[in-house]
Structure 1
Amino acid sequence: MTAVPLVHRDGDIVLGVDLGTTAAKATAYRMGGLGGAVALAAHEYALQQPLPDRQIQDPETIIGAAQGAMRRVIAEVGSENVAALACSTAMHGLIGLDADERPLTELITWADSRATDQARSLIESGAARNLHRRSGTPVHPMSPLVKLMWFAEQEPELCRKVRWWLDLKGWLLWNLTGQIATDLSCASGTGLLDLSTRTWRPASLDLAGVTLEQLPPIVPTTAVLPLGPVPARAIGLPTGLPVIAGAGDGPLGNLGTGALDPGVGGLSLGTSGALRTVVDEPDVDAEGRLFCYALTDDAWVVGGAISNGGIIGRWILDLVGFRDDAELANLAERVPAGAEGLVMIPMLLAERAPLWDPSLHGSLLGLRRFHGRPHLARAAIEGVALQMSAIADSLNEFGPLSSIRATGGVFRSALWGQVLAAVLNIPLHVISGAGGSALGAAALGVLGLGKAGSLKEALLLLDPHAMDSDEPVPVDLRDVQTYQGVRASIGELVAEQARIAKMFEPAGRRVRGC
């Protein structure tokens, strides 16, 4: 392969490219500007479910969406003003490529639960806890390690044809630069990394049935690679423009919302959700309930992710025949905190934190005849908030959370923030102007270009107000008291519901957690 020299630009714009679960976003930030995005574009794509336990996407469609979003933004800001691209992607995806770097598989997303049996086997054998301690990634069907075990068992013929196993970041970098690589952050979410050495762990590779030669080299999150000639033409930028490898969208969410200080949690709530805090060194909690992923080599993010976030609201909307989140909130506001005794365990997808048990099913508990659509809507929002509170409890091992900086589409409806603030009982600041993962990626881009000496400095160079916050979401103390009662019993309710669900599981059949 011919090396492409880097083209250093005097432009003052860094373009954050963020590939999420359902959309590719490109957002332009000006270094030394007044703050916030100067241009943005998004192209959506579908999360496909061909089978109950499959959640997949077409890799080429994702790249097409990313190029489309970048083209629109570049046309608006002018290619001569762009100094670099910086990358963010959803974590835990898996794509197999052949010897010509063409996809042999779909993108197997974080939400895919086909590897439930492999995850259960690791848990029951006792191997899961050690894998979590060594890699920072809890054992779960989302984990690429567990997905690879499934492929080795179920698709051995396909596996023999795979030259490269990549995550979504590796796929994006290949399409932007022509180089096979992934970043330390996304590598730390595969279950295959050794936290102590920051390299692929041989024992985990053996377990997954892959060789070191099939995995991409790991580069720092601030690594700079040159934009290749073909993608350069496709998006309207010069060949060789710096492409900063970036990180996973979760850790970048903390950076983009300014949740960097000790005791400050970064909460993101979109299709899925997460609550995380930044620590100096990789570490895992005693109970094995939290992940540990890299932001940079000396900034790590510990926390927990839920699979069932805003997707629960969309499911309710479909169920009751309503159209948008505003209507969901309007419904939910008709009933008081606690939904008059109706409790939802929101586990429609294989759930992650804090129990990491993909076999758990969702349920409605306490259902009575007088409960209607408003109760269902309220219970759904409260159920998501209660899952977040369980993560907050686990994070106390790393020091109590003094405040939370929250971002996500659901917060367009004030009720989501009010419920979360009352359930968590921690000052909650909704960061309405936050760029989230895209801004975090752009900040890493600034760091990679050598324009700043620290994460905070890089963030503030793009947005001087990024660490500011409005007043916390107001809460009603009566709501806090109501939710404290439910919160105290939710663990027992989940355990009992799981026990009952197993009683109705057909003999000889394992629940697939979907």
Structure 2
Amino acid sequence: MIVGVDIGTSLTKAVVFDEDGSSIASACAPSEVHHLSGGRVEQDLDHVVGTVATVVREVAAALPEPVSALALTGQGDGLWLRDETGAAVHPAISWLDGRANTVLAKWQADGVATEVFRRTGAGMFPGCAGALLSYLDSHEPEVLDRAVVAGYCVDAVLQRLTGEITVDVSDASLPFLDPATRRYDDHAIEACGLAHRRNLLAEPAQPKAVFRLDSRGAALLGLPVGLPVTAGPFDLPASAIGAGVRRPGDGILTAGTTLACQVLTDDPAFDREGEPAGMFLCTPDEHEYLHAMPAMVGTAGIDWVCSLLGIGVEEIDPLLASSEPGARGVRALPFLSVSGERAPFVDAGARAQFSGLSLETGRADVVRALCESIAYAARHCFDAAGLSGKLYACGGGVRSPEWLRIFADVLGRPIVIPSDPGVGARGAVLTAAAALGSPFDRDRWAEHSRTVEVRPENVAGYERGYGDYQAALSAARGLWRL
């Protein structure tokens, strides 16, 4: 009875799985995301912890047996500043935040971003901890003076439940960890001008680390003191584990708020001369890594087009079906995030565009052009990450059959969809089971899935469309300004 808890940006979900990997109990609670002036995006740590308590209590009450352990995962990046008790000293800054846009632009111009990338394989972006720490160090240094730890969502919740100050190696990968040694690279920290804030970085937990609920955490969740708790990996690698990614070259597409594209590798080396973008994430297996390209495009763009056109998300599939591949000549670049793009390139000034519009263009063409452009962005990411094997997919976007077919056609390969949508929680539970020495059958957990096949008649057209996308992107990058 291991309860997996996935603390997402807008939703916290708890799930318990049976021996076959099927969900037997689940609960969810919404989180509040505050979009403020100046590109600031923040969350309240107390509210987030409250959502964890809500879902865990609800699931525990529905189980036939007592809870045996708690497995945490959740959103990565951002900056969650706390004191020694785990209390927030500043509202949690989301990975969506854009206040450090100018910091990142300066680092790109003067070579800091390239220097950090060459040392750690982490392409920095405005919502990463390095840029946010630098921004606060310049504009609100008193906040950092009050903090004991500058961490992330999962370790912030862990501290409130167990009293432990630590961080999972996957979160620590961004942006200061050398993936080969799994230690912080002090030269990368110095390059960002943050050597005097080095004490705020918690040391990564050891592989298979297990923590215990303290009295405060037990009272919050209604569970026994001393209950085992694991924390991490964060949601990107947890989803890869939960979906079934196990062999080098295999990848996973997460069509969520972000479009996260990841490929498993057993080689810690990376192209140090390449464009400084993406992430090289350590996993619970000390000999495996995930080359991640988490683009800022994703279902947030679908929400935007629905709002713009006055339609509901349930209308997306019928509209996609009523516009032919190629969207009757309408083309798009999908960069709608206020903080620009972070993979497979980094540009805080990246912005969306539509072309090929005419008086004959309909809503279906606009919707299809946007969905196709996001699929092209996925291909761009996977090309950079080195996808060569089996491809899995998860996230809210996979609930659209028509969009899934577009992804398969653009990527030119079948896509495996796990039967249970809670793959992040599933990955956290599998990680906890391994840490606790609990036996489980990975093949049995992965066998319940379906496959979306490529439609051969669409491949050539999308190959030309991808070339057009690349050309439009190259032209646009020379025009973007903050």
TM more than 0.5? yes
Specify the code of the residue in structure 2 equivalent to 1:97.
Answer: R
Contact residue 221 and residue 247 of structure 1 kept, 8 A: no
Q: Name the residue aligned to 1:492.
A: 471
Q: Within 2, Cα distance between the matches of 1:195 and 1:277?
A: 15
Q: What aligned pairs does 1:14-413 form with structure 2 within 5 A after superposition? A: 14-30=2-18, 33-78=19-64, 80-98=65-83, 100-189=85-174, 191-206=175-190, 207-209=192-194, 210-285=196-271, 286-288=273-275, 289-296=277-284, 297-324=286-313, 326-349=314-337, 350-396=340-386, 400-413=387-400
- The 8 Å contact of residues 13 and 28 in structure 2, kept in 1 or not, is answered as yes
1:434: how far off? 4.7
Secondary structure in 2 aligned to 1:38?
A: strand
Measured after TM superposition, the shift of residue 99 of structure 1 is 5.0
| Poorly superposed stretches of 4+, deviation over 4 Å | none
Q: What's the CA shift for 1:282?
A: 2.4
Structure 1 residue 435: deviation in Å? 3.0
Deviations 1:8-31 (A, max 9, x none): xxxxx111111111111111123x
Comparing 205-214 with 364-373, which one deviates more in the overlay?
205-214
Identity rate, percent: 27
Q: What residue is the counterpart of 1:3 in the other structure?
A: none
TM-score between the two structures when normalised by the length of structure 1: 0.88
User: Structure 1, residues 345-372: CA drift from partner, whole Å, max 9, x if none?
Assistant: 1111121211121211111122212112
The alpha-carbon distance between structure 1 residues 100 and 437, as it changes in their structure 2 partners (threshold 3 A), is closer
What count of residue pairs does the alignment treat as equivalent? 475
Show CA shifts across 1:363-417 (max 9, x none).
1122212112111111111111010010121133xxx523311112222220111
What CA distance in whole angstroms lies between the structure 2 residues aligned with 1:65 and 1:459?
29
Displacement of 1:40 in angstroms is 0.8
CA–CA separation in structure 1 for the residues paired with 2:358 and 2:217: 58
Q: Distance in 2 between matches of 1:204 and 1:234?
A: 38
Contact 2:179–2:280 under 8 Å retained in 1? no
Local SS of the residue matching 1:493: helix
List aligned pairs for 1:360-509, cutoff 5 A: 360-396=350-386, 400-452=387-439, 459-460=442-443, 464-467=444-447, 469-470=449-450, 472-502=451-481
Alignment gaps of 5+ in structure 2? none
What's the offset of the Cα at 1:438?
Answer: 0.5
Give the whole-Å Cα distance in 1 for the aligned partners of 2:120 and 2:445.
35
What is the alpha-carbon distance in structure 1 between the residues aligned to residue 86 and residue 59 of structure 2?
A: 28
Root-mean-square deviation (CA, aligned residues, Å) is 1.8
Contact 1:24 1:44 in 2 (8 A): yes
Contact 2:211–2:229 (Cα < 8 Å) also in 1 = yes
Give the C-alpha shift of residue 216 in structure 1: 1.8
Q: Which deviates further from its counterpart, 402-411 or 336-345?
A: 402-411
Q: Deviations over 1:263-313 (max 9, x none)?
A: 321111111121112122423235244321011222211121111101111
* Structure 1: gaps of 5 or more residues: 1-12, 503-510
SS of alignment partner, residue 151 of structure 1: helix
Check 1:127–1:356 CA distance in 2 against 1; reply closer, same or farther (3 A cut): same
Alignment partner of 2:261: what SS?
strand
Q: Secondary structure at the residue paired with 2:138?
A: helix
Separation (CA, whole Å) in 1 of partners of 2:303 and 2:419: 21
